[in-house]
C-alpha cells in the first residue's frame, strides 16, 4: 500500500511539475515588452492581424500571437561615408546632376510612423520589421527624391549657393512620397557633398577668382575713399585760405577808411626826431613844419 501511494505521489508530482513548467513557458511566451517610442502590431500564426496596437510597456498576449514593433516617435537615420555618424559601414551614395557628373553625399533624415496606420503598414510591407523597411524601401525612396531634384542642377549649384534650395525641394518630395504609406518625415539634411576631383578644382578656381574680384573691389573703394578724403582736405585748406584773405581784406579796408590827412601828418611827425636833414635836394625844397607848431612859436 505504501509503495502504491509513493508511486501515486511521484506521478502526481511529475504532473504538477510538468504543468508548472508548461505554464511558465506559456507565460513567458505570452508576455511581451514594447520599448519606449515604439508601438506593436499583433498578428496570429496565420498572418491575420488585429486592428488594436500595443503601446510601450509590458503586455500579455496569446501564445499563438506575435508582435512587430514600429517607431512612433522620432527616429534619426545617418547615411554617411564615416561610420562615426552611426552607420555600420560606408552608407554614402552618389546622386545625379544636370551635366551627368555624379556627386557623392552624406545625408540624415528623421521620421516616425503614424500609430493609427500601423496595421496598414504591416499589411503593405508584409510584416517586415521597421529596420528592413528603413534599410530598403525608405532608403530607395530617399535616393529617388534626391535624384529627381538634383538632376536639374549643375554640380556647382548642388555644392554651392543652391544647396538650401535643393535641400528644401528634396524634403518636400520625400515627405509627400512617404506620407501615403503612413510614414511621416520630420527633417532632411545634406551632411556632406563631395564632387569629383575635376569639378572640385573648377569650384575652387571660381572661388579664388571671386575672392580676387572682391579684393579688387575693396581696393577700388578704398582708393575712392582716399581720393575723397584728399579732396575734402584740399577744399578745407582752400576755404581756410579764402576766409583768411577775406579777413585781411576787410581789415585793410577798415584801416583805409580810418586814415585822414591829419592822421597821416600826425603819424609822420610823431616819428620825427627833430633833426633836419644834412643834405638838401637840388630843388631847394624845404621841410614844411605844421602850421600849429609855427603859430605856437610866434606867439611865444
Domain that holds residue 100: 74-195
Band the pLDDT of 83: cuts 50, 70, 90. Answer: low
Q: Which of 126, 113, 108 is nearest to 71 (CA)?
A: 113
Same domain, 32 and 120: no
| 169: number of Cβ within 10 Å | 18
- What is the value of pTM for the model shown? 0.60
pLDDT tens-place string over residues 89-110: 789 999 999 988 889 999 999 9
Same domain, 183 and 97: yes
- Greater pLDDT, 267 or 290: 267
Residue 226, C-alpha cell as written in the block: 582716399
Number of independent structural domains in the chain: 2
pLDDT score at 86: 52
Same domain, 191 and 81: yes
pLDDT tens-place string over residues 219-271: 788 878 878 888 788 888 777 777 877 777 776 666 666 666 766 666 666 66
Same domain, 87 and 164: yes
Q: Which of 153, 162, 105, 289 is nearest to 297 (CA)?
A: 289
Band the pLDDT of 203: cuts 50, 70, 90. Answer: low
Residue 300 in any domain: the answer is: no
pLDDT score at 8: 56
Q: Rounded CA gap, 35 and 59, in Å?
A: 11
Q: Which of 44, 70, 96 is the last residue of a domain?
A: 70
Residue 233 in any domain: the answer is: no
Q: What's the residue count for the chain?
A: 300
Same domain, 63 and 91: no
pLDDT score at 239: 75
pLDDT score at 57: 84
Spatial strand order in the sheet of 65-71:
49-54, 38-44, 65-71
The position carrying cell 557628373 is 101
Mean pLDDT of all residues in 202-228: 70
pLDDT score at 295: 43
CA 92 to chain centroid, in Å, comes to: 23
pLDDT score at 20: 59
| 69: number of Cβ within 10 Å | 20
Same domain, 84 and 175: yes
**Poorest-confidence range of 35-44, 85-94, 153-162?**
85-94
Contact (Cβ atoms closer than 8 angstroms) between residue 32 and residue 61:
yes
**Poorest-confidence range of 10-19, 151-160, 180-189?**
10-19
Q: Rounded CA gap, 178 and 111, in Å?
A: 10
Q: Rounded CA gap, 146 and 141, in Å?
A: 9
Band the pLDDT of 69: cuts 50, 70, 90. Answer: very high
Contact (Cβ atoms closer than 8 angstroms) between residue 148 and residue 173:
yes
Amino acid at each position: 500500500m505504501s509503495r502504491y501511494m509513493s508511486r501515486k505521489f511521484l506521478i502526481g508530482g511529475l504532473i504538477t511539475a510538468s504543468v508548472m513548467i508548461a505554464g511558465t513557458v506559456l507565460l513567458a511566451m505570452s508576455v511581451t515588452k514594447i520599448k519606449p517610442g515604439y508601438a506593436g502590431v499583433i498578428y496570429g500564426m496565420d498572418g491575420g492581424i488585429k486592428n488594436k496596437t500595443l503601446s510601450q510597456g509590458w503586455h500579455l498576449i496569446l501564445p499563438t500571437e506575435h508582435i512587430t514593433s514600429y517607431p512612433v516617435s522620432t527616429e534619426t537615420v545617418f547615411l554617411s561615408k564615416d561610420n562615426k555618424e552611426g552607420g555600420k559601414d560606408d552608407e554614402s551614395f552618389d546622386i545625379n546632376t544636370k551635366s551627368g557628373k555624379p556627386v557623392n553625399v552624406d545625408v540624415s533624415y528623421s521620421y516616425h510612423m503614424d500609430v493609427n496606420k500601423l496595421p496598414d503598414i504591416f499589411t503593405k510591407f508584409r510584416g517586415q520589421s521597421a529596420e528592413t523597411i528603413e534599410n530598403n524601401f525608405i532608403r530607395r525612396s530617399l535616393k529617388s527624391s534626391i535624384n529627381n531634384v538634383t538632376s536639374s542642377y549643375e554640380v556647382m549649384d548642388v555644392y554651392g549657393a543652391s544647396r538650401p534650395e535643393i535641400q528644401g525641394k528634396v524634403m518636400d518630395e520625400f515627405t509627400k512620397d512617404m506620407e501615403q504609406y503612413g510614414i511621416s518625415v520630420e527633417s532632411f539634411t545634406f551632411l556632406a557633398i563631395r564632387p569629383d576631383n575635376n569639378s572640385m578644382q573648377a569650384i575652387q578656381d571660381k572661388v579664388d577668382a571671386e575672392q580676387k574680384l572682391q579684393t579688387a573691389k575693396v581696393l577700388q573703394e578704398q582708393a575712392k575713399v582716399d581720393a575723397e578724403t584728399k579732396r575734402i582736405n584740399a577744399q578745407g585748406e582752400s576755404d581756410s585760405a579764402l576766409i583768411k584773405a577775406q579777413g585781411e581784406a576787410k581789415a585793410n579796408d577798415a584801416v583805409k577808411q580810418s586814415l585822414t590827412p591829419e592822421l597821416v601828418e600826425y603819424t609822420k611827425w610823431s616819428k620825427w626826431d627833430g633833426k633836419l636833414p644834412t643834405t638838401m635836394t637840388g630843388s631847394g625844397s624845404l621841410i614844411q613844419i605844421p602850421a600849429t607848431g609855427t603859430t605856437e612859436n610866434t606867439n611865444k
